[in-house]
Structure 1
Amino acid sequence: MKTSFFHSRNQQLDLIRQYLEDLRSEAVRSQPPHQIILAGDLNTTMWSPYYQRLVRKTNLKNARSGFGILPTWPTPGTYATIPRALTPLLSIPIDHCLLSHGLDVTDIHVGTDTGSDHRPLVVDIRVP
């Protein structure tokens, strides 16, 4: 992958962070406070400093916490250069669900193959 991909991805994460910070500022002024769920393909793992800054600055929590790593990419057989048997060893978690601390995850798991190069992250959330 070209370095421009990573630069672009990191810029997008910063824009998401700025948007969520603005949204949170607005939510603080509202009654009752808004709950936030950010879910999708962020193309980065939770070990990335850009991901960690997003979580820290927005005060969102990783839905995976306490449930394991739950890798979502790549799906076995998607890339001919990766032998199917090695895919589980090389898989990484780049699809995420981040949510407000007032929301509780009751279950989270990686869903079945849907034909994409990613597997879905299926999250059950309890809203108070």
Structure 2
Amino acid sequence: MGYTTHVTGEFAIEPSLTWNEFKDSEFAPHNITDSYDPELILRVNETSVDTDDGPLLKRTATALVMREIDEYRAYDLLDQVQKAVDSFPGHTFIGRLDCEGEQSADLWRVVLRDGRAVKVEPRIVWPDEDGGQ
């Protein structure tokens, strides 16, 4: 048992990754064999494209998202985000992951700044005690 963190959000990938770019990636859903590693997964969209030879299944990865992990502990989340971003040069990751720990004041985000995964913590500001809000 350890301290758990609930993570929501995603990083959209632009342009989307092609099959050849992600098929061998550890973040590709079809390559994951461990219950906890990696913590992130690519969201893969499948579309059918008509060709002269019949329908062709086209797969693209459009986002990096959290996996469904019970009692998730976000100890390595920043490193995992950075590893995923570094795995796909030439693509832009847009978005954030919102993280909420077990304690009520434990709120933070993972964002990308200049290609680096960064933990951002909120600032709590008390209202002015002279009647301002």
The two structures share one fold, judged by TM-score above 0.5? no
State the TM-score, normalized to the length of structure 1: 0.28
Greater relative contact order (CA < 8 Å, ≥ 6 in sequence): 2
State the TM-score, normalized to the length of structure 2: 0.27
Higher helix share: 1
Q: Which of the two has higher C-alpha Rg?
A: 2
Higher strand share: 2
